[in-house]
């Protein structure tokens, strides 16, 4: 305790210089925590978005993910209802939703456009996708009626001049290679924020799609879990129980998520590295000047019996004190920024390929805060060790003669 107190008194010996080092350390810590918090929030949001879109674990027929079908659902999944019923009751499973991805032409009688459709279970999908499907008009389609209901993208609605309650016709190739058509009623108009999707999106009850494609197969079965962290464990169980099927996790299917994560890891990794250099430089500069100024004092302490290692330890404690104080201030600043952004309601501009922004928020991660603090303190200690070790080993007579 005496040594820590001694170190702190030495830190306070030149308040302005120590405070400058603390503030630089604090800024570095805050920058890393704010940048890291933003990256974590982005990862979590993308994880949530991707898992809500695809399901946490996705089952398909053996070649169901190969995308090389001659006709629609050539590699479709048979017996999906039994699988859905089985996994729907498993522990940790929130819901199971069958899916069919299909495409064709959509027509209002006057003109046609290409659509990319998704056959879903209305009772499950529209509930689970949550805020991802922003209904700008109408509401989610219900179960298949004689005239099926659809939700379409807002840009497609504009193109088709479709309004809620209006009729459209879907034309698609059946599983037998023939053309088939079905009249549908627009029940809702959605905006996903991705113009490419909103220009082509059609969602409807999967049973209507099966009638259109003349099949009882489904494209895939999406298993939604209560806890995303269980994804790998459940996927392994499903794979083991169904070796004849193909099993993918949301992470396997999330190309965008993986790309963003790789990009952000690189960007924030470099930012972290820059901060490390700045903090190390500030700390070395501050403690280096202290060492030079106190060379004679070091000589005195050495003369009266202080070992070189003890001299270095005292400087390391000073570095740790500055680093800890700086990290504490940085954590406080980052914490307040995290809280402030919750109330500020700021929005990030739309990323490339999207038409809507997303909230500017930071995730609070105790592990990140602890890690950043440990790095900063270790860096300060290392800098102090580096700058003081030579002075501590300087011949005592030389140190005492230092002016």
Please give the residue ranges that form the binding site for another protein (CB under 8 A): 2, 6, 9-10, 12-13, 296-297, 300-308, 310, 395-397, 400
User: For residues 92 and 395, which CB has a smaller minimum distance to another protein in the complex?
Assistant: 395
User: For residues 7 and 341, which CB has a smaller minimum distance to another protein in the complex?
Assistant: 7
User: For residues 205 and 318, which CB has a smaller minimum distance to another protein in the complex?
Assistant: 318
CB of 13 to another protein, least distance (A): 5
Let me know: does 231 contact 109? Beta carbons within 8 Å: no
User: For residues 227 and 310, which CB has a smaller minimum distance to another protein in the complex?
Assistant: 310
- Integer Cα distance of 78 and 171 in angstroms: 24
User: For residues 107 and 306, which CB has a smaller minimum distance to another protein in the complex?
Assistant: 306
Provide the 8-state DSSP code for 129: S
User: For residues 119 and 319, which CB has a smaller minimum distance to another protein in the complex?
Assistant: 319
- Integer Cα distance of 170 and 168 in angstroms: 7
Q: Within 10 Å of residue 391's Cβ, how many Cβ atoms?
A: 22
What distance, in Å, lies between the first and last C-alpha atoms of the chain? 31
CB of 377 to another protein, least distance (A): 22
CB of 15 to another protein, least distance (A): 12
- Integer Cα distance of 219 and 151 in angstroms: 19
CB of 392 to another protein, least distance (A): 11
CB of 22 to another protein, least distance (A): 18
By C-alpha distance, which of 245, 183, 257 is closest to 217? 245
Let me know: does 205 contact 123? Beta carbons within 8 Å: no
By C-alpha distance, which of 283, 289, 285 is closest to 319? 283
CB of 297 to another protein, least distance (A): 6
User: For residues 139 and 310, which CB has a smaller minimum distance to another protein in the complex?
Assistant: 310
The number of C-alpha atoms within 13 Å of 78 and in the hemisphere containing its C-beta is 5
C-alpha distances in Å from residue 169, one per residue of 115, 138, 305: 11, 19, 94
C-alpha distances in Å from residue 170, one per residue of 26, 174, 183, 203, 208: 60, 12, 6, 11, 11
CB of 387 to another protein, least distance (A): 19
Q: Within 10 Å of residue 148's Cβ, how many Cβ atoms?
A: 23
Q: Cα 281 vs. chain centroid, distance in angstroms?
A: 32
- Find all residues with CB under 8 Å of 252, minimum gap 6, and list them: none
CB of 43 to another protein, least distance (A): 47
User: For residues 47 and 318, which CB has a smaller minimum distance to another protein in the complex?
Assistant: 318
């Amino acid at each position: 305790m005496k040594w820590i107190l001694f170190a702190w008194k030495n830190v306070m010996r030149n308040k302005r210089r120590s405070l400058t080092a603390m503030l630089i350390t604090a800024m570095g810590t805050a920058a890393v925590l704010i940048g890291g918090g933003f990256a974590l929030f982005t990862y979590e949001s993308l994880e949530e978005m991707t898992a809500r879109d695809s399901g946490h674990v996705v089952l398909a027929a053996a070649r169901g993910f190969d995308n090389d079908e001659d006709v629609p659902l050539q590699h479709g999944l048979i017996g999906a209802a039994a699988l859905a019923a089985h996994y729907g009751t498993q522990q940790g499973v929130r819901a199971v939703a069958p899916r069919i991805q299909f495409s064709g032409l959509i027509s209002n009688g006057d003109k046609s456009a290409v659509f990319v459709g998704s056959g879903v279970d209305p009772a499950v999908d529209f509930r689970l996708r949550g805020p991802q499907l922003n209904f700008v008009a109408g509401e989610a389609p219900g179960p298949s009626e004689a005239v099926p209901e659809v939700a379409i993208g807002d840009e497609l609605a504009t193109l088709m001049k479709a309004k809620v309650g209006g009729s459209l016709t879907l034309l698609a190739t059946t599983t037998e290679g023939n053309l088939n058509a079905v009249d549908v009623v627009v029940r809702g108009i959605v905006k996903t924020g991705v113009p490419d999707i909103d220009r082509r999106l059609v969602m409807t009850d999967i049973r209507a799609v099966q009638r259109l494609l003349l099949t009882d197969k489904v494209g895939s079965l999406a298993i939604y879990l209560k806890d995303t962290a269980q994804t790998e464990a459940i996927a392994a169980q499903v794979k083991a129980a169904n070796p004849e099927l193909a099993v993918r996790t949301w992470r396997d299917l999330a190309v965008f998520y993986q790309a963003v994560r790789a990009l952000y890891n690189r960007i924030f990794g470099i930012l972290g590295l820059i901060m490390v250099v700045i903090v190390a430089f500030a700390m070395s500069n501050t403690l280096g000047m202290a060492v030079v100024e106190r060379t004679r004092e070091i000589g005195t302490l050495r003369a009266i019996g202080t070992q070189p290692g003890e001299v270095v330890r005292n400087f390391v404690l000073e570095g740790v004190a500055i680093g800890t104080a700086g990290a504490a201030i940085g954590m406080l600043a980052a914490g307040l920024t995290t809280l402030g952004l919750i109330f500020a309601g700021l929005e990030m501009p739309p990323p490339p390929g999207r038409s809507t922004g997303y909230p500017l928020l930071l995730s609070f991660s105790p592990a990140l805060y602890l890690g950043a603090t440990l790095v900063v303190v270790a860096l300060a200690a290392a800098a102090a060790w580096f700058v003081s070790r030579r002075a501590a080993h300087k011949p005592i007579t030389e140190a005492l003669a230092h002016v």
